[in-house]
Amino acid sequence: MTWGATTRLVGAMLLVALAPIVVALRSAATAEAQPPGMAVRVGRLHPGSPTSPRSQASLEVFRAGLRELGWIEGRNLVIEHRYAEGKLGRLAALADGLTRSKVDVIVAVGHPGITAAQQATTTIPIVMAASADPVRFGFVQNLARPEGNITGLSLEPQDLHGKRLELLKEAVPGLRRVAIVSNPSHPGHADFIRESEAAARALGIEMLVLKAGRADSVEAMVRAAIQANAGALQVLSDPLMLDDAGPRISALALKQRLPTLFAWRHLAEGGGFISYGANLDAMTRRSAFYVDRLLKGAKPGDLPVEQPTTFELVVNLKTARALGLTISPSLRLRANHVVE
Q: Model confidence over 65-104: pLDDT tens digits? A: 999 999 999 999 999 999 998 888 899 999 999 999 999 9
- 215 and 334 share a domain? yes
- The parent domain of residue 168 ranges over 160-277+311-339
Looking at per-residue confidence, does 137 or 117 come out higher? 117
Continuous H helices in 101-244: 111-120, 160-171, 189-203, 218-227
How far, in Å, CA of 117 to CA of 42, rounded?
Answer: 13
Same domain, 173 and 239: yes
Q: Return the higher-pLDDT residue of 339 and 29.
A: 339
- Window from 43-52, 110-119, 176-185 with minimum mean pLDDT: 176-185
The 10s digit of each residue's pLDDT in 252-269 is 999 999 999 998 898 999
Please give the residue that has the higher pLDDT: either 144 or 248. Answer: 144
Do 260 and 334 belong to one domain? yes
Check whether residue 232 and residue 322 sit in a common domain.
yes
Q: What is the pTM of this model?
A: 0.82
Q: State yes or no: pLDDT of 138 exceeds 80.
A: yes
**What pLDDT is recorded for position 183?**
77
Interstrand relation of 274-277 and 260-262 (parallel, antiparallel or unpaired): parallel
Residue 101 has a pLDDT of 95
Q: Is 57 exposed, middle or buried (0-12, 13-18, 19+ CB in 10 A)?
A: middle
| pLDDT for 131 beyond 80 | yes
Of residues 17 and 279, the one with the higher pLDDT is 279
**Amino acid code (one letter) for 294:** L
Q: What is the CATH number of the domain that holds 214?
A: 3.40.50.2300
The pLDDT value recorded for residue 309 is 82
Q: Please tell me the distance from the alpha carbon of residue 179 to that of residue 56, in angstroms, as a whole number.
A: 30
Does 95 lie in the same domain as 231? no
Q: Mean pLDDT over residues 280-296, rounded?
A: 96
Is residue 317 pLDDT above 60, yes or no? yes
In this predicted structure, what is the pLDDT of residue 44? 98
Whole-Å CA distances, 41 to 15, 68, 79, 99, 305: 40, 17, 6, 11, 22
Q: What pLDDT score does 88 carry?
A: 82
Q: Regarding predicted confidence, which is higher, 49 or 152?
A: 152
Same domain, 89 and 168: no
Query: Does 22 have pLDDT greater than 80?
Result: no
Q: Report which listed range, 107-116, 190-199, 233-242, is most confident.
A: 107-116
Roughly how many angstroms between the first and final C-alpha of the chain, as a whole number?
70
Band of residue 239 on the pLDDT scale cut at 50, 70, 90 = low
The count of other CB atoms within 10 Å of the CB of residue 160 is 22
Tens-digit pLDDT profile for residues 168-198 = 999 999 999 999 988 777 767 787 888 888 9
Whole-Å CA distances, 18 to 9, 13, 26, 145, 259: 14, 9, 12, 52, 67
**Where is pLDDT greater, at 155 or 206?**
206
Number of domains in the chain: 2
Query: Does 328 fall in a domain?
Result: yes
Q: 293 and 185 in one domain?
A: no
Nearest to 47 by CA among 149, 121, 151, 130: 130
Whether residues 296 and 241 share a domain: the answer is no
CB atoms within 10 A of CB 8: 12
